Amino acid sequence: MAEQRRDARDVREEAQVAPERGELDGRDARDEVERAWDELVATACRTVADGLVVGTSGNVSVRLGDTVLVTPTGVPYDRLRPEDVVGVDLDGRQVRGSLLPTSELPMHLAIYRATDARAVVHTHAAHATAVSTLVPELPLIHYMAGALGGPVRVAPYATYGTAELAENMLRALTHRTACLLQNHGTIAYGSSLHQAYDRTAQLEWMSRVWLLSASVPGLTPSLLSGEQVTKAGERLRGYGQR
């Protein structure tokens, strides 16, 4: 009987503890979403501060499991609050928030479905957009192209927010982590918001360098070979602190 009473008490104690664990798990999940949303909003605001977008152009997203948090359409980033979180599933169904997600959602979801990306940054960066109107791919003006997988391609123009644009983008992103969108802007992805943003900034910088060097009358900028960029890319994979 004593053994039976002890077993029953253990069962009751476990039943009491279980909801507490569930609450902790739920709180942890909420905290993760809040942290991710805060970082997403900060990254979006940084695209404005760094001159990569104007007004509400461009958009940012981050993936948490099967949920994608994404900036809403038509809302200035500096006005976004914690309670404005917007989330969709990988099929585009809204699962969090009441604000409508960005009109460029098809591009973001296409990347998440086709790659191991955890974050995506899309901008209308001026120099990169200018390059997208001039050439089919950014000339190899700097070895940092290796950090993006090689020569950065230009995805053919299509109306914003369409499946056609998402398809064009995916083709340009084959074996790449960033591309230009013709007469539109840039898109880059990474394993984190920091990496996706850094790749975006590097692409804009390389575009500016090429435009500057190509604009000098009577001179033609020297370009790197594909082999040189590939070697640089291999070396860059070991760059930084481990």
Residues with active-site annotation: 104
- 160 and 184 Cβ atoms separated by less than 8 Å: yes
Written as one string, the DSSP assignment of 50-101 is: TTS--TT-SEEEEEETTEEEEPBTT--GGG--GGG--EEETTS-EEE-SSPB
Give the amino acid at 169.
M
127-130-132-136 Cα dihedral, nearest 10 degrees: -100
> Whose structure tokens read 């993760």?
32
- The pair of three-digit structure tokens given for residue 168, joined into one six-digit string: 């064009």
> Measured between alpha carbons, how far is 107 from 116 in angstroms, rounded to an integer?
14
What separation in angstroms does the CA of 120 have from each of 60, 70, 197? 6, 9, 8
Could you tell me the CA-to-CA distances from 127 to 91, 196, 210 in Å, in that order? 33, 18, 9
Determine the Cα–Cα distance for residues 161 and 173; give it in Å rounded to an integer: 17
